[in-house]
């Protein structure tokens, strides 16, 4: 019943603002166009507002889930008309606030004291209001200027209702669309649910903020304000107030002589640093959360807030992502095809030469333009559309990353239209790959994992005996024996690998402790490891 009411509200809002008129008629199915043309909707008057304002007001009326969607759209000026993008940009910090008295009561309830006892001063009118929370200015007793962020009351119930509706829609898509199962809409919705509910926990946001601040401590690229933990709870967070220029205020940035080219390039550098160096990236980098320091405009520094949504990838995904991006940069289409198959993004039976040809046919026309004019976001859209023909699976774990990368490009091009994302990103990726898989780093990774391997090694015989003692059903015996054979081979490989690594690490220890260690000692250690490996593989 709740979902039905919510669905009816969505339909009412869509009709009120005549959202149907914003749909591109030439790209809709003929049956749908016919339905719109002869539906009672055409009798409903169109509000006396611009198309951008109608869309913005509709999203605001529908609440935080839809406001977040509008925030993402506002950064994609390569996909939206300028007038619509300008209007949606107001969603960043112009969402109507809730009662200031209610906010004050929530703060006092969470912190266990009156605002007069907690702060030297407290501004009752909010500084800014967003979809999930609003912010008030205050001063601590020690004179520190801070902002107090408080979650909207009852917002969790609204989001829960919207998420139920999204699950229903996703289930219908998965069941009835030809591509529904491949697109995995239920997994995408589940991933988004975790993301948006994380925004309601300000202690989590405070922890993310502190971590990001440590990652960029003393950095000239990015400044993250300090969190005051004594004043932070589940629904309230107090952090350092920053005095900076909103990144969307181009007039003020240019007036102070900001190096706009460097500023745009540093946005790209910050993103790749967060992803590949730290594996901890701000995944909600819309313009409302980004500011620019007023100091050193010739050497501009970003200032970031609202770290509720943080992304990270597995080492596996980061590795394949970096290699895919480099292959695209180098126009090595066969490598792109092979990597998609190797990492499982397309089925293993995909014919690499056919996939390569399809990728080439999409990319080559784009690469005829100057690199500075190529939209990386648009290229990704074309690539994903091409991969759909080869049954590419949607990767929910990469959804945040893809969205963030598109946001970064949209923002960078807004600051400096000639931004060459490729020139900025390619050297960074090449350096990361070289450093990541240098002998020194590989040995460091082995050293970090070795205690766990050694801990598991004595348990191998028991696991093998348990497996052998399991009853084998006759009709399944062939499959069970094949599985056991594979497992035995894997165990032999694991044991030989551990022994070889032990010998290599022993050699390193000898070298580090003995000044007169010779190359022949290294060869002896390594040779012994190779012999043992060959014996164990037999």
The per-residue pLDDT for range 249-298, each reduced to its tens digit, is: 999 999 999 999 999 999 989 998 998 889 999 988 777 789 999 999 99
Identify each DSSP E strand in 205-317 by its residue range.
222-223, 236-240, 244-246, 281-282, 290-293, 302-304, 310-311
Residues 128-157 as b or e (16 or more Cβ within 10 Å = b): bbbbbbbbbbbebeeeeebbbbbbbeebee
In this structure, the answer to whether residues 383 and 273 fall within a common structural domain is yes
Statement: residue 371 has pLDDT above 80? no
| 205 lies in some domain | no
In this structure, the answer to whether residues 314 and 170 fall within a common structural domain is no
In this structure, the answer to whether residues 315 and 402 fall within a common structural domain is yes
Domain-terminating residue out of 380, 406, 437: 437
In this structure, the answer to whether residues 192 and 281 fall within a common structural domain is no
| 104 lies in some domain | no
List the structure tokens of 25.
Answer: 């008629």
Statement: residue 231 has pLDDT above 60? yes
DSSP secondary-structure letter at 91? Answer: G
| 275 lies in some domain | yes
At residue 535, the pLDDT reads: 47
| 97 lies in some domain | no
| 147 lies in some domain | no
Q: Which residues contact 433 (CB under 8 A, 6 or more apart)?
A: 322, 323, 326
Domain-terminating residue out of 404, 437, 470: 437
Taking residues 499-522, report their average pLDDT: 48
In this structure, the answer to whether residues 288 and 352 fall within a common structural domain is yes
In this structure, the answer to whether residues 404 and 444 fall within a common structural domain is no
Full domain range(s) for residue 498: 439-537
Distance from first CA to last CA of the chain, Å, rounded?
A: 66
At residue 525, the pLDDT reads: 46
Report the distance separating Cα 309 and Cα 75, nearest Å: 17
DSSP codes of every residue in 377-403: HHHHHHHHHHHHTTTPPP-GGGHHHHH
Burial zone of 451 (CB within 10 Å; 0-12 exposed, 13-18 middle, 19+ buried): exposed
Domain-terminating residue out of 416, 437, 458: 437
Give the angle 94-98-103 at the CA atoms, nearest 5°.
120
Count the Cβ atoms, other than its own, within 10 Å of residue 245.
20
User: For this structure, is 462 an active site residue?
Assistant: no
At residue 533, the pLDDT reads: 47
Say which residue the tokens 């039976």 belong to.
Answer: 349
273, 304, 121: which is closest to 210 by C-alpha?
304
In this structure, the answer to whether residues 367 and 486 fall within a common structural domain is no
Report the distance separating Cα 19 and Cα 3, nearest Å: 21
| 416 lies in some domain | yes
Is the Cβ–Cβ distance between 316 and 338 less than 8 Å? Answer: no
| 297 lies in some domain | yes
Statement: residue 68 has pLDDT above 50? yes
272, 287, 260: which is closest to 325 by C-alpha?
272
Instruction: Find the range with the poorest average confidence among 82-96, 179-193, 394-408, 504-518.
Output: 504-518
Instruction: Find the range with the poorest average confidence among 54-63, 200-209, 240-249, 489-498.
Output: 489-498
Query: How far apart, in Å, are the Cα atoms of 28 and each of 42, 107, 209, 483?
Result: 17, 49, 43, 50
Q: Which residues contact 408 (CB under 8 A, 6 or more apart)?
A: 267, 268, 271, 285
Q: Which residues contact 454 (CB under 8 A, 6 or more apart)?
A: 498
Statement: residue 342 has pLDDT above 60? yes
Can you tell me whether residue 453 is helix, strand or coil?
A: helix
In this structure, the answer to whether residues 465 and 426 fall within a common structural domain is no
pLDDT digits (tens, 9 = 90+) for 395-438: 656 666 777 777 788 888 888 888 877 788 888 888 888 887 77
335, 378, 375, 330: which is closest to 355 by C-alpha?
335
Residues 186-221 as b or e (16 or more Cβ within 10 Å = b): bbbbbbbbebbeebbebebbbbbbbebbebbeeeee
List the structure tokens of 272.
Answer: 């790749």
List the structure tokens of 382.
Answer: 């074309």
Q: 83, 230, 278, 284: which one is catalytic?
A: 284
List the structure tokens of 154.
Answer: 């009852």
Instruction: Find the range with the poorest average confidence among 60-74, 178-192, 245-259.
Output: 178-192
At residue 532, the pLDDT reads: 45
In this structure, the answer to whether residues 404 and 464 fall within a common structural domain is no
Report the distance separating Cα 369 and Cα 356, nearest Å: 21
Statement: residue 163 has pLDDT above 70? yes
Statement: residue 76 has pLDDT above 70? no
Q: pLDDT band for position 149 (50/70/90)?
A: very high
Report the distance separating Cα 143 and Cα 121, nearest Å: 9
At residue 262, the pLDDT reads: 94
In this structure, the answer to whether residues 443 and 513 fall within a common structural domain is yes
Instruction: Find the range with the poorest average confidence among 119-123, 242-246, 249-253, 444-448.
Output: 444-448
In this structure, the answer to whether residues 431 and 479 fall within a common structural domain is no
485 — phi, psi (to 5°)? Answer: -60, -45
Alpha helices for 17-76 (secondary structure H): 30-37, 51-62, 64-74
Statement: residue 138 has pLDDT above 80? yes
| 288 lies in some domain | yes
Predicted TM-score (pTM) of this structure: 0.71
Report the distance separating Cα 76 and Cα 80, nearest Å: 6
Statement: residue 507 has pLDDT above 70? no
Taking residues 455-479, report their average pLDDT: 63
Q: List the strands of the sheet with 290-293, edge to edge.
A: 222-223, 302-304, 290-293, 244-246
Give the angle 70-151-161 at the CA atoms, nearest 5°.
60
Of the two residues 235 and 533, the one the predictor is more confident about is: 235
pLDDT digits (tens, 9 = 90+) for 90-128: 775 556 788 999 999 999 999 999 999 999 999 999 988
In this structure, the answer to whether residues 433 and 446 fall within a common structural domain is no
List the structure tokens of 261.
Answer: 């080219």
List the structure tokens of 378.
Answer: 């648009």
Please give the tally of structural domains in the chain: 4
Longest CA span, the chain: 92
Q: pLDDT band for position 521 (50/70/90)?
A: very low
């Amino acid at each position: 019943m709740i979902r039905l009411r919510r669905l009816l509200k969505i339909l009412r809002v869509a009709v009120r603002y005549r959202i149907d008129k914003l749909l591109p008629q030439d790209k809709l199915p003929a049956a749908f166009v016919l339905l719109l043309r002869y539906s009672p909707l055409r009798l409903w008057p169109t509000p006396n507002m611009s198309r951008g304002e109608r869309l913005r007001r509709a999203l605001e009326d529908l609440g935080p889930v839809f406001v977040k969607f509008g925030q993402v759209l506002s950064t994609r000026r390569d996909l939206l008309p300028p007038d619509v993008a300008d209007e949606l940009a107001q969603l960043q910090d112009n969402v109507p606030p809730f009662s200031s008295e209610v906010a004050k009561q929530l703060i006092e309830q969470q912190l266990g004291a009156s605002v007069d006892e907690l702060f030297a001063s407290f501004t009752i009118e909010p500084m800014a209001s967003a979809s999930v929370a609003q912010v008030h200015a205050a001063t601590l007793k020690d004179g520190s200027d801070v902002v107090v962020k408080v979650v909207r009351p009852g917002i969790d119930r609204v989001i829960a209702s919207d998420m139920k509706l999204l699950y229903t829609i996703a289930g219908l898509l998965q069941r009835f669309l030809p591509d529904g199962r491949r697109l995995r809409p239920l997994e995408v919705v589940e991933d988004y649910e975790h993301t948006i509910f994380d925004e309601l926990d300000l202690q989590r946001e405070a922890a993310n903020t502190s971590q990001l601040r440590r990652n960029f401590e003393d950095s000239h690229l990015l400044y993250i304000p300090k969190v005051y933990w004594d004043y932070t709870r589940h629904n309230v967070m107090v952090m350092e107030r920053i005095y900076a220029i909103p990144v969307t205020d181009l007039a003020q940035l240019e007036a102070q002589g900001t190096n706009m080219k460097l500023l745009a390039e540093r946005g790209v550098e910050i993103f790749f640093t967060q992803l590949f160096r730290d594996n901890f990236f701000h995944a909600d980098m819309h313009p409302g959360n980004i500011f620019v320091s007023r100091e050193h405009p010739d050497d501009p520094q970003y200032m970031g807030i609202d770290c509720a949504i943080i992304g990270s990838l597995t080492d596996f995904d980061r590795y394949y992502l970096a290699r895919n991006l480099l292959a695209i940069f180098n126009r090595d289409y066969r490598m792109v095809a092979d990597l998609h198959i190797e990492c499982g993004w397309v089925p293993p039976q995909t014919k690499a030469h056919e996939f390569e040809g399809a990728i080439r046919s999409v990319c080559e026309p784009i690469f005829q333009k100057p690199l500075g004019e190529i939209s990386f976001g648009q290229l990704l859209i074309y690539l994903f559309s091409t991969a759909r023909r080869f049954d590419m699976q949607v990767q929910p774990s990469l959804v945040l990353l893809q969205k963030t990368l598109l946001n970064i490009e949209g923002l960078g091009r807004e600051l400096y239209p000639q931004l060459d994302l490729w020139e900025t990103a390619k050297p960074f990726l090449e350096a990361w790959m070289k450093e990541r898989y240098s002998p020194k780093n590989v040995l460091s990774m082995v050293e970090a994992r070795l205690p766990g391997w050694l801990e598991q090694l004595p348990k191998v015989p028991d696991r093998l005996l348990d497996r052998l003692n399991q009853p084998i059903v006759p009709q399944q015996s062939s499959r069970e024996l094949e599985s056991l054979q594979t497992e035995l081979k894997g165990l032999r490989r694991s044991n030989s690998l551990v022994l070889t690594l032990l010998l290599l690490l022993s050699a390193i220890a000898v070298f580090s402790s003995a000044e007169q260690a010779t190359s022949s000692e290294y060869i002896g250690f390594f040779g012994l490891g190779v012999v043992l490996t060959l014996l164990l593989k037999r």
